[in-house]
Amino acid sequence: MANLLKEAGKEAIEKLGWWQAHRFLILRRLSQLSIVLMFLSGPFWNLWILKGNYSASLLLDVIPLSDPLIVAQSLATGYLPEWKTLVGAGVIIVCYGLLASKVFCGWVCPVNVVTDLAAWLRRKLGIRQSAKLPRSLRYGILAMILVGSAISGTLLWEWINPVAAVGRTFVFGLGATLWLVAAVFLFDLLIVEHGWCGHLCPIGAMYGVIGAKSLVRIKVTDRAKCDRCMDCFHVCPEPQVLRLPLNGKPQDSTIVLSPDCISCGRCIDVCAEQVFSLSTRFKREIAVKNC
């Protein structure tokens, strides 16, 4: 029997304990906060770990890191970025391509904190009405941005990039971009459930393409253990990715192979029956039950 939406995860807390039911959420927040602090370490403590911003940065004054979408826009305009920028994009593509599906979205992106808060409030307030948008729309937006950049000769997306806006808010404080942060939050809270990340974000679409063949995956260890409480679907920002591995036919894969999965681990957190685990796409389970 399905649990109440606003009580998603409560059963896991009762059966497994508070830490076990929140470990991936806490680790993700620590990861996101650590990255903010790495940007702040230079201006505040003169310890330059990450110099720059979420679009382009330098790690330890040695390793360049570049947003692949910005580089793709630059190439679409006909402008060839300097070699460090290209190397930085290559580093990001290789790392995220190998690691896990859309791990940037779940473990790095500052907008995730905003959209997770909106989703949590929706559950607690019992807001279920939601406008319908196709989840494939983000891939169409990605294509339009690249075409638009080619036609206009400008980095079209950077005019309204919420990731850069939220990053500036965290690093430099509230300012002129606060309206964009608020718009994303209210859109997710009142209009479309998981609206921004799950339906519109072209950066997420780009990382979905990059991480389509990544190694670390969520796995359904035993379908028979599922009691249909629906808690995993309630908290998952991309619940459609769980349907086939959890409810598919015997011949269907029990590994979440969809490129839309953000590898957040919340399904593992809230499942009182411990149906989910971390695995690789080659079906070798990674032990996390006692971590």
Domain end (from 162, 177, 210): 210
Q: How many Å apart are CA 229 and CA 18, to the nearest integer? A: 18
pLDDT of residue 171: 56
Task: Give the chain as a 3 state SS string.
Answer: CCCCHHHCCHHHHHHHCCCCCCHHHHHHHHHHHHHHHHHHHHHHHCCCCEEECCCEEEECCCEEEECHHHHHHHHHHCCCCCHHHHHHHHHHHHHHHHCECCHHHHHCCCHHHHHHHHHHHHHHHCCCCCCCCCCCHHHHHHHHHHHHHHHHCCCHHHHCCHHHHHHHHHHHCCCCCHHHHHHHHHHHHHHCCCHHHHHHCHHHHHHHHHCCCCCEEEEECCHHHCCCCCHHHHHCCCHHHHHHHHHCCCCCCCECCCCCCCCCCHHHHHCCCCCEEEEECCCCEECCCCC
79, 128: one domain: yes
183, 251: one domain: no
Q: State how many domains the chain has.
A: 2
206, 224: one domain: no
268, 182: one domain: no
Domain end (from 210, 232, 258): 210
71, 189: one domain: yes
Q: Is 188 inside a domain boundary? A: yes
134, 37: one domain: yes
pLDDT of residue 93: 97
| pLDDT tens-place values along the chain, 291 residues long | 788 888 888 999 999 999 999 999 999 999 999 999 999 898 889 999 999 888 889 999 999 999 999 999 999 999 999 999 999 999 999 999 999 999 999 999 999 999 999 999 999 998 887 788 999 999 999 999 999 999 999 888 877 888 877 766 655 555 557 788 889 999 999 999 999 999 999 999 999 999 999 999 999 998 999 999 999 999 999 999 999 999 988 888 899 999 999 999 999 999 999 999 999 888 654 545 544
91, 160: one domain: yes
Q: Is 263 inside a domain boundary? A: yes
160, 30: one domain: yes
Q: Is 287 inside a domain boundary? A: no
128, 235: one domain: no
Domain end (from 210, 236, 259): 210
Domain residues for 263? 10-17+218-276
Record the pTM: 0.89
196, 267: one domain: no
pLDDT of residue 160: 80
Biggest distance spanned by C-alpha atoms of the chain: 57
